[in-house]
Structure 1
């Protein structure tokens, strides 16, 4: 684990799965996904996830931070040898050394293992589109809204 990580503030829900690498950490609870990067944490409420789609991150800049209030903001984190997914969010909370702030309509492109993807999908109530996580297809929408668009 990276010593530059900020301690995670109190999380909502029960911890379901946590993976820590030297460059990033992902923790899923029954209510939120917490992404840790050096000097910054992102709190993504599972109910604010719009969709999760596979993406080819190569050719993208390694890191682009979320800008406050921007409609087109996002974070890209590339890790060779792992499948990457775009998590589209309605809103997120950023925690850095200056404090907490809310952002809206942001995307995160992250390396996510199959186990982590299944855990996020399960607790977020997302439906898997045909193909499953063994062939990297999308998940999105909820059963209450009738599913996701392709």
Structure 2
């Protein structure tokens, strides 16, 4: 039993990694210790981020108006988003109305031989000539 757990959690060699399928290799490397080169890149990146944050912090301390400008800029963006949503809502309502009127509108008779028109004609009161009237007999 202990041999299996040791084998399960051991670090893979380069040959083992080459034999693995890409998905298994990616899973294994996701939890592996990064190389020295990668650690150097991550440290340099963190250092740049910290320097940038420190620079922004000192700039905001020198210029308190900067925070208000960013707030104003954000308010303008939010206003533009709200206006865009309102335009889309109005457009959708208009399209929905147009679709409904097209679907619900009464059909007009087509011009043709008259056979097509029969299906759209409304039955009217019967006349005596057609034999539908009451002859009072």
**TM-score normalized by the length of structure 1:** 0.19
Specify which structure has the bigger relative contact order, considering alpha-carbon pairs within 8 angstroms and separated by 6 or more residues: 1
Q: Which is richer in helix? A: 2
**TM-score normalized by the length of structure 2:** 0.20
